[in-house]
């Protein structure tokens, strides 16, 4: 038996059932997601407040973002919720190898998305700066907050991949489920972020 399958599926699944549907760690996760969601919603509200106060939007002759590439990239990122959900299901059934592969696939796509977004972010900085006007400031703040959440999610996936190499335990199975939930949240917030940013083109 390989290291990745050190714990039997039956043992992990049995422990998962005893823990019930809501392990203690999930309450901490829900609190984190609630606070982070509230923060991002405040940023979105600030964006639209500033827009209603402005005569033109974007300000200072800044061009509105082209929606095509951001929409394609966002759809690609949101699609990673599927392998993360598959990883969560595999972990609950005690299938460490399947969970590891699904997380790796998700991380590969997420890394590609993040690299492209960082390139785009740097290109925008060559065009206008955060301190140019209110639009530039909130634009970079909203995008930066979203990119930060994606980066944190990637670090969590790297952590899971490293931990699963030592085998699947009940604690690690809960970790896979928690990180999967985090990614569903991050992807949803990315949808809100892109919708907010692209509203300038409407």
Distances (CA, A) of 187 to 13, 67, 68, 78, 173: 28, 17, 18, 5, 21
pLDDT at 5: 45
- pTM attached to this predicted model: 0.88
Task: Give the whole-angstrom CA distance, residue 89 versus residue 9.
Answer: 12
pLDDT at 27: 83
Q: What is the pLDDT along the chain (202 residues), one digit of tens a residue?
A: 344 444 555 545 554 544 455 667 778 888 999 999 999 999 999 999 999 999 999 999 999 999 999 999 999 999 999 999 999 999 999 999 999 999 999 999 999 999 999 999 999 999 999 999 999 999 999 999 999 999 999 999 999 999 999 999 988 999 999 999 999 999 999 999 999 999 998 8
pLDDT at 21: 55
Q: What is the CATH number of domain 3-201?
A: 1.20.120.80
Task: Give the whole-angstrom CA distance, residue 175 versus residue 143.
Answer: 27
Domain boundaries, the chain: 3-201
pLDDT at 22: 65
Residue closest to 98 by CA, chosen among 108, 83, 110, 109: 83
pLDDT at 28: 84
pLDDT at 202: 84
The answer to whether 154 and 110 are in contact (CB under 8 A) is: yes
The answer to whether 103 and 87 are in contact (CB under 8 A) is: yes
């Amino acid at each position: 038996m390989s290291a990745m399958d050190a714990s039997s599926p039956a043992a992990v699944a049995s422990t998962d059932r005893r823990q019930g549907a809501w392990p203690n760690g999930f309450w901490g996760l829900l609190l984190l997601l609630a606070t982070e969601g509230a923060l991002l919603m405040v940023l979105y509200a600030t964006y639209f407040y500033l827009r209603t106060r402005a005569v033109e939007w974007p300000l200072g002759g800044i061009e509105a973002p082209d929606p095509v590439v951001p929409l394609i990239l966002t759809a690609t990122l949101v699609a990673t919720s599927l392998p993360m959900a598959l990883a969560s299901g595999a972990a609950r059934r005690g299938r460490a190898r399947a969970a590891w592969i699904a997380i790796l696939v998700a991380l590969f796509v997420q890394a590609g998305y993040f690299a492209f977004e960082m390139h785009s972010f740097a290109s925008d900085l060559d065009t206008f700066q955060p301190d140019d006007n209110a639009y530039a400031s909130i634009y970079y703040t909203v995008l930066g907050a979203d990119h930060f959440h994606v980066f944190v999610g990637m670090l969590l996936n790297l952590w899971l991949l490293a931990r699963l190499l030592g085998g699947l335990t009940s604690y690690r199975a809960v970790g896979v489920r928690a990180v999967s939930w985090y990614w569903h949240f991050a992807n949803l917030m990315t949808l809100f972020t892109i919708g907010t940013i692209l509203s300038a083109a409407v």
